[in-house]
Amino acid sequence: MTDAEDQPEAALVMDKKELGIDPEALWAAADKLRGSIDAAEYKHVVLGLIFLKYISDAFETRREALRQELEADGITGASAENMLESRDEYTAESVFWVPVEARWAEIQAKGKTPNIGKLIDEAMYAIERDNPKLKGKLPRDYARRGISPERLGGLIDQIASIAVGTKEAQKKDILGRVYEYFLGKFAAAEGKLGGEFFTPSSIVRLMVEMIEPYEGRVYDPACGSGGMFVQSERFAEAHGGSKRDLSVFGQESNPTTWRLAHMNLAIRGIEANLGEQPADSFTRDLHPDLKADYILANPPFNISDWSGDLLRSDTRWKYGPPPVSNANYAWIQHFIHHLSPPNGKGGGIAAFVMANGSLSSTSGGEGEIRTKIIEADLVDCIIAMPPQLFLTTGIPVCLWFVTRDKSGKHLDKGRGGRDRSGETLFIDARDMGALEEGSRTLRFLSGRDHPTSPPPPETEIGRIVRTYHAWRGEADAGDYEDVKGFCKAATLEEIAKRNHVLTPGTYVGSAALKEDDEPFAEKMERLVGELSNQLAASDTLTGEIRKNLGALGHEF
């Protein structure tokens, strides 16, 4: 998710001069750790060190600026040194205080000593001790991993060459881009067994652009590394807002991924409430009273071990208890439960990824739950996504958009809108997408990295976003019209006639024939005729060859 267009998912969009090191060389150094660390864990070793480098860089940048300020005021010597070691001079500028033993120069100087793992753990502990916001949120298990000092020291030397915390680096978001690069590479390296936290940038960008989180409360109960929050903040800032316009709430059950989310958000200056500790959103909802304006999520779908048998009477299941064998409709109702009701600013809207089975399944009472949700007029839009978008699963997916308010009266920033009560928009995007460069299986949607917001309508994301906004009646989105094979606005009555199945292809139909297409019967007749002509020509040619060979004395 950078400001260059349509780069590969796992490619870092910056040149070597800008980064200060070849990103592939950095990856190669990190990848060497896989020999001694589980593939699903070594990302935390690498990203923890990069985070340590970032806060040290930012600290040194502020320290140098403070030194220059003191010199300008005539303060030098011991007085200046005392001021340079004053914690308040850094925290007042929203810079993490880094104690001496945790500064990068100290770490790198001892990078290949036998106890480097223990020194890193102590540095992480010191940072948590002096920065309460980070308490319990940094990796502190380098010593127990048993990584050889040579490999760990080599990685430290590689990371040392990247300027990630300077003012210029922060302006370019180099650290954020390095993080995204590594998240993609780690997800690809882990394959089917890991990387569940990594949502492709195509999907994140599309979801955020569609629901437009200008200001309010953003919630992700399966937040992974926090990618939904990062893109939401970018959207708000692209439209003249700031990080302060959004309040971020999240939850993550995996302890190491929960720490990763904190680091990912901290480096971008995003304040977030992810709970005091990692926890499962079903069995221990850390934000029980939260009513969010925006929900963005890519939950682990089709899971069977979600403790459904223990939660049969939970208040979240307003539309019916989900089957204990599948959490899909538990997630869907969890999202609905946490949406803000219609008020002066409008009702909440949720965008989430779900398995295609959720659109038509009737097992375990899912059909009845879906029917009640549809009859409550909560389903705003359904998008069928193209295959092969995910690094870690081949399961076909769709996007659900659920809202408490279809009146159109409360769209933000004076964009207007129309009353679309009793309607649901269906979009079939299964034929969209192109293969990533160098990949035979991984696809992406064009427009994911376009610097404008929303991406232009000639891009695939732009086309989908503009269609949705036009259907909602937003200003400057153009007029909406059904397009056979792509989009259809269906009424609740039409959905009921189809047994409350939400599969977009059921509604949009087949795409109109292109100018060079022709009906099957006519095409078949033409092709048979062409084949007959070619066979006849072949017989004629064979006869000529036999005649010529006979003239040379050959018999057949």
Residue 200 has pLDDT above 90, yes or no: no
| Domains held by the chain: number | 3
In a domain, 487, yes or no: yes
Residue 408 has pLDDT above 80, yes or no: yes
pLDDT of residue 519: 59
Same domain, 298 and 395: yes
Q: Model confidence at 555, in pLDDT bands (50, 70, 90)? A: low
The one-character DSSP state at 483 is B
Same domain, 113 and 259: no
Same domain, 409 and 530: no
Domain ranges, residue 347? 201-508
Residue 544 has pLDDT above 80, yes or no: no
Same domain, 266 and 165: no
In a domain, 411, yes or no: yes
Same domain, 35 and 173: yes
Give yes or no for a contact between 229 and 265, defined as CB atoms under 8 angstroms apart. yes
In a domain, 127, yes or no: yes
What's the mean pLDDT in 220-227? 88
Same domain, 228 and 181: no
Predicted TM-score of the model (pTM):
0.78
Lowest mean pLDDT among 30-39, 157-166, 400-409: 30-39
pLDDT of residue 195: 39
Same domain, 503 and 524: no
Tokens of 266: 């901290």
Q: Give the separation between CA 216 and CA 220, rounded to whole angstroms.
A: 13
pLDDT of residue 46: 82
Cβ neighbours of residue 384 closer than 8 Å, sequence gap 6 or more? 356, 396, 398, 427, 428, 429, 430, 503, 504, 505
Same domain, 427 and 533: no
Integer CA distances (angstroms), 413 to 97, 293, 349, in order:
38, 15, 16
pLDDT of residue 384: 96
In a domain, 11, yes or no: no
pLDDT of residue 541: 73
The residue among 100 and 174 whose pLDDT is bigger is 100
Kindly list the strands in the beta sheet with 349-355, ordered across the sheet, starting from the edge strand earlier in the chain: 272-273, 246-250, 216-220, 294-297, 349-355, 397-403, 379-384, 423-428, 487-491
Same domain, 178 and 248: no
In a domain, 39, yes or no: yes
Same domain, 142 and 285: no
In a domain, 7, yes or no: no
Same domain, 209 and 162: no
Residue 302 has pLDDT above 80, yes or no: yes
Q: Give the separation between CA 392 and CA 494, rounded to whole angstroms.
A: 36
Q: Model confidence at 197, in pLDDT bands (50, 70, 90)? A: very low
What's the mean pLDDT in 310-332? 96
pLDDT of residue 513: 47
Residue 489 has pLDDT above 90, yes or no: yes
Q: Give the separation between CA 413 and CA 401, rounded to whole angstroms.
A: 20
Q: Model confidence at 423, in pLDDT bands (50, 70, 90)? A: very high
pLDDT in tens, 511-535: 654 445 555 665 676 667 667 767 7
Phi, psi torsion values for 373, nearest 5 degrees: -65, -40
Phi, psi torsion values for 400, nearest 5 degrees: -100, 140
Same domain, 494 and 525: no
Lowest mean pLDDT among 132-141, 215-224, 354-363, 459-468: 132-141
Q: Give the separation between CA 104 and CA 432, rounded to whole angstroms.
A: 46
Tokens of 452: 């404008």
What's the mean pLDDT in 143-150? 86
What's the mean pLDDT in 385-403? 84
pLDDT of residue 17: 52
